[in-house]
Amino acid sequence: MKNIISYFSFKQIDIYLTGFLCISTLFFNFLFIDLCLIFKLKFVLFVFPLSILISYLLALFKFPISKVNGIMLFFIAIILTTLLINSFMIDFSQDGMLYHKGIILEISKKWNPIHEEMTKNIPFQYVYNHYVKGIEFSQYSVYSLTGNIESSKIINFLFLLSSLSFTYLSIKKIFYRNIFSIVFTLFLHVNPIVINQIFTFYVDGIIYLSLLICLSLLILKSFDKKWPYIDLTLLMIIVLFVNIKLTSFVLVICLFFFYFMYLLSAKRIKEIKHNFKLLIVSGIMIGIVSWYPFGENLLRKGNPIYPVVGKNKIDIIEHQRPPSLKGNLSIIAAFKSLFYRVNHAPHSWSNNTINENIEEFKIPFSFKFYEIKYSSIACARLSGLGFWFSGFFIVAIILFITMFFYLKKDQMNLIILFTLFIFFSIIPFIQGAWWARFIPQLWIFPIFIFFVSYYLGNAILKVISQISLVLVVIMTFIIGGYNYSKTIYNSYEKRKCLTMLKKCFGDKIIPIKVDYDSEEFYFKEYGINARNISIEDFEKDKQNYYLFQKYYFIKKDGK
């Protein structure tokens, strides 16, 4: 039995190679699609498989051939499995349908964002013209290959697999225990933001995973500089990280600042110089491949991260604040949101039809059943890290303070430094910190404290940590179970509707009212000859439409 388990078990170098293949594939996929758009090349169809091939060839130079071939089979199996699963699971989220898929749709219809502005009158036009699109570019290459828009969410799973690999290795280097490291890794990755966004086109969960990858690679590098391609892997994830969101670079700078502080305290000056050079090289690389949008924004608007900050900035956060948080200092709003009951309902707020439960403070570790529903959406606006997170946060602070009384000074200094990094990384995003999706890294704090307390603490602290972690399991299981069962059911229902639509109308032109242009992806996938009717035209002639299978309004006369 032990021989069988040993045969199927992964050694550390295998896990590292898996993480490397994920990052390398993601990097070359983004780089090649970027170059295709820059030079107006037409072989987009081959970008994703070519990226996998180059990653494989690159691995052969530094890893044993037998290991590379074995892990590559595993890697391909993961890719095919996640492609299949994602092809079925539909992202119904508003942001996903409205502009993440919308950007991919427009690029697939020959819009080249690097060379031309979006002039079409569409919602969030500034997102199309000024935001970074590293993830959308990468997803576009997958869509070009498969013809299924949902399959492009495989990008999320490559980030997840890489993060799981590198995070486990870094924790194992610090704590040495295998099972402990596996469990610690899993708890860091059941962040509700990740759980709720993994099958969507939202990018906040990817930002969190990228942060874990960067952090883990720096930890690995601190212990052993001989990991194959460690500097190259860091460079690749930094370039990818900065191209997720306009403000991603702030997290990169914050992470390296605290890493340099750690190296300085340990008097490892040579490593500071080496990593600073790596940071500069990464910056040059970003400047080359990411001239759009950073350089274009600078030339056109005088600000590389327009419209997030600076003159003529566009507010995308403040107008979405819940009523009771308006007028509060940002830090107060964030604190209050943490201790509210979980909720969302932006339309209720904007229409002043506020549910009586929406802005209700709660006793930590209590919950009402409606919180489960709102904890299971991709962008809950109040207490978005889960219905018990406020309780976990309080317990973690108590444990953190308690550790001062019995831990060694050098141990406590490292814990303080890491905790400071987590909270300082939130400061640049404090304006929107009441909205959990903008500060997913806050999840790290209680999980980190629970595991450190369990590892270093006395019997009482171990018990408190264990109870807290059991509650984390219960909460995340409920959130994930509700989210995924709902997504599977809704995906099945919509696909059944699309099949019926094709069966009933065949090749006839069908006038259909759509809320989002991205519905075109599904019509194309099912061979439906749809003529999209705008919401404005639908409102003028609403009485002449009927609801087909609860998803689409179709014009009665078919004209």
Structure token digits, residue 119? 């002039």
* pLDDT given at position 540: 87
By the 8 A CB rule, do 240 and 23 touch?
yes
pLDDT in tens, 123-166: 899 999 999 999 999 999 999 999 999 999 999 999 999 999 99
Q: Give the tokens for residue 381.
A: 């606006």
The tokens describing 440, both together, are 């997913």
| CB-based contact 14:71 (threshold 8 Å) | yes
Determine the distance from the C-alpha atom of residue 178 to the mean position of all C-alpha atoms in its chain, rounded to a whole number: 27
Helix, strand, coil percentages (3-state) for the chain, rounded to 5, are 70, 5, 25
Secondary structure letter of residue 531 according to DSSP: E
Task: Give the span between the Cα atoms of 140 and 103, in whole angstroms.
Answer: 9
The predicted-structure confidence for 182-227, as pLDDT tens digits, reads as follows 999 999 999 999 999 999 999 999 999 999 999 999 999 999 888 9
Pairing of strands 530-533, 510-513: parallel
**Residues 389-395: what's their mean pLDDT?**
98
Non-local (6+) Cβ contacts of 109 within 8 A are none
Distance, in Å, from the CA atom of 156 to the CA atom of 158, rounded to the nearest integer, reads: 6
Place of tokens 């670079």: 249
Residues 6+ apart with CB under 8 A from 530: 509, 510, 511, 512, 514, 519, 520, 523
Residue 74 buriedness (CB in 10 A; 0-12 / 13-18 / 19+): middle
Quick check: bond before 307 cis, omega within 30?
yes
- The residue type found at 553 is F
The CA distance from 440 to 211, in Å, is 10
Please tell me the distance from the alpha carbon of residue 465 to that of residue 471, in angstroms, as a whole number: 10
* Residue 559, pLDDT score: 56
Q: Residues 6 or more apart from 363 whose CB is under 8 A from it? A: none
**Contacts with 191 (C-beta within 8 Å, 6 or more apart), sequence order:** 205, 208, 385, 440, 443
Average pLDDT rounded to a whole number, residues 106-126:
93
Neighbouring residues of 235: CB distance < 8 A, sequence distance ≥ 6 = 278, 281, 282, 285
Highest mean pLDDT among 297-306, 465-474, 529-538: 465-474
Cα 65 from Cα 327, distance rounded (Å): 61
pLDDT of residue 357: 47
Q: Other C-beta atoms within 10 Å of 158: how many?
A: 24
Model pLDDT for residues 476-510, shown as the tens digit of each residue: 999 999 999 999 999 999 999 999 999 999 999 99
- Per-residue pLDDT at 537: 85
Cα separation, 65 vs 68, in Å, equals 5
Share of the chain above pLDDT 90, in %: 80
Q: State the maximum Cα–Cα separation within the chain, in Å, rounded to a whole number.
A: 79
Cα gap 311→94, rounded to integer Å: 28
Q: By the 8 A CB rule, do 472 and 392 touch?
A: yes
> Residue 82 is encoded by which pair of tokens?
């996640």
Backbone angles phi, psi at 510, to 5 degrees: -115, 115
The predicted model gives 335-349 an average pLDDT of 77
**Local structure of residue 323 (DSSP, 8 states):** G
What's the chain's Rg over C-alpha atoms?
24
Residue 180, phi then psi, degrees to nearest 5:
-55, -45
pLDDT at 59 over 70: yes
Residue 511's SS3 state is: strand
pLDDT in tens, 222-270: 998 889 999 999 999 999 999 999 989 999 999 999 999 999 999 999 9
231: its two tokens = 């500097």
Task: Answer yes or no: is pLDDT of 8 > 60.
Answer: no
Residues with Cβ within 8 Å of residue 352, at least 6 apart in sequence: none
**Cα-Cα end-to-end distance for the chain:** 68
Considering only CA atoms, which of 209, 204, 207, 206 is closest in space to residue 185?
A: 209
The answer to whether 476 and 388 are in contact (CB under 8 A) is no
| pLDDT score, position 358 | 57
pLDDT exceeds 60 at position 349: no
Residue 4 has pLDDT above 80, yes or no: no
Q: How far apart are CA 404 and CA 408, in angstroms?
A: 8
**Residue 556 CB neighbours (<10 A):** 11
CA–CA gap between residue 491 and residue 462 (Å, rounded): 42
Region of 91 on the Ramachandran plot (φ > 0 left; ψ -120 to 50 alpha; else beta): beta
Q: Which residues contact 302 (CB under 8 A, 6 or more apart)?
A: 310, 311
190 vs 213: CA distance, rounded Å:
15
Q: Where are the alpha helices (DSSP H) in 147-229?
A: 154-175, 178-189, 192-197, 204-223
Confidence of residue 443 (pLDDT cuts 50, 70, 90): very high
pLDDT value for 514: 86
Q: What is the pLDDT of residues 513-547, one digit of tens each?
A: 988 999 999 999 999 999 988 888 898 888 999 99
